[in-house]
Amino acid sequence: MKIDILTVLPKLLEGPFADSILKRAIDKEIVQVGVHDIRKFSKDKHQKVDDYAFGGGAGMVMTIQPIHDCIESLKAANEYDEIIYMTPDGEQLNQQISNELSMKKNIMILCGHYKGVDQRVRDHLITREISIGDYVLSGGELAAAVLSDSIIRLIPGVLNDETSALSDSFQDDLLAPPVYTRPADYNGWTVPEILTSGHLKKIEDWRFEQSVLRTKERRPDLLERGKKH
């Protein structure tokens, strides 16, 4: 899989892919992540990538030309399944969307800044718009990193123990059960006995019960959603 991220702040995207699971996935060549500086495509003599909004109002708007040229140069080399714009008014990211995107071959992610991009970019170049939640970030970069992380960890071979992605919270509309590790007794704070009993079937049942309980308490909306499909 290839993920190409378009940004005016490429440095912001250096950290998330330089460590741990995402770095390993890149090193193993399971995924390729390209970060592209939109400014390099600007035909303006000062390499400007934004301008005042028509009609006035505070805040700059990202211009079409550098974004269009950056997208076209990438499209000349690859076919893209989705060209995603990260924006707080997009569809809200959830595990189902990440699952779906993890099965694609190539995706492009455009990060917005300032007051966002010229609406014509969204109308003519973008195929999907995604938000990571009802709050506003300074730009789309952190949101693009969140989206990429949630997708990449689902690609087969990225996690060592493949079942561990399947048992994540949300995979089956349930939150994950509590987990414990050694020591079994820490200053009198003990681990549920069942977990040290060695009864695998009973442990599995206990985990399922705990998942349901936790979901009922914390996210009853997920159980309602689960009933619908």
Residue of 140, 158, 174, 215 that binds ligand ADE (CB under 6 A): 140
Residue 87 as a binder of ligand ADE (CB under 6 A): the answer is yes
Residue of 3, 49, 83, 86 that binds ligand ADE (CB under 6 A): 86
Q: Of 155, 142, 67, whose CA–CA distance to 106 is shortest?
A: 155
Contact between 155 and 25 under an 8 Å Cβ cutoff? The reply is yes
- Enumerate the H helices of 103-199 as residue ranges: 119-124, 141-152, 163-166
Residue 131 as a binder of ligand ADE (CB under 6 A): the answer is yes
Q: How far is the CB of 219 from ligand ADE (least distance, A)?
A: 20
Question: How far is 154 from 74, CA to CA, in rounded Å?
Answer: 24
In the complex with ligand ADE, which residue's Cβ is closer, 123 or 193?
A: 123
Question: How far is 103 from 134, CA to CA, in rounded Å?
Answer: 26
Residue of 55, 76, 123, 135 that binds ligand ADE (CB under 6 A): 135
Residue 42 as a binder of ligand ADE (CB under 6 A): the answer is no
| Sole window of 57-65, 81-89, 97-105, 118-126 interacting with ligand ADE (rule: CB under 6 A) | 81-89
Question: How far is 126 from 33, CA to CA, in rounded Å?
Answer: 19
| Sole window of 18-26, 30-38, 84-92, 101-109 interacting with ligand ADE (rule: CB under 6 A) | 84-92
Residue of 3, 88, 148, 175 that binds ligand ADE (CB under 6 A): 88
87 membership: H or E segment, kind and range: strand 82-92
What single-letter DSSP state applies at residue 59? S
Residue 192 as a binder of ligand ADE (CB under 6 A): the answer is no
In Å, how far from its chain's centre is CA 220? 24
Residue of 133, 156, 178, 226 that binds ligand ADE (CB under 6 A): 133
Residue 132 as a binder of ligand ADE (CB under 6 A): the answer is yes
* Binding residue count for ligand ADE, defined by CB under 6 A: 12
**Which residue type does 71 have?**
I
In Å, how far from its chain's centre is CA 156? 16
What dihedral angle (degrees, nearest 10) is formed by the CA atoms of 144, 149, 155, 157? 140
Residues that bind ligand ADE (CB under 6 A): 86-88, 112, 131-133, 135-137, 140, 143
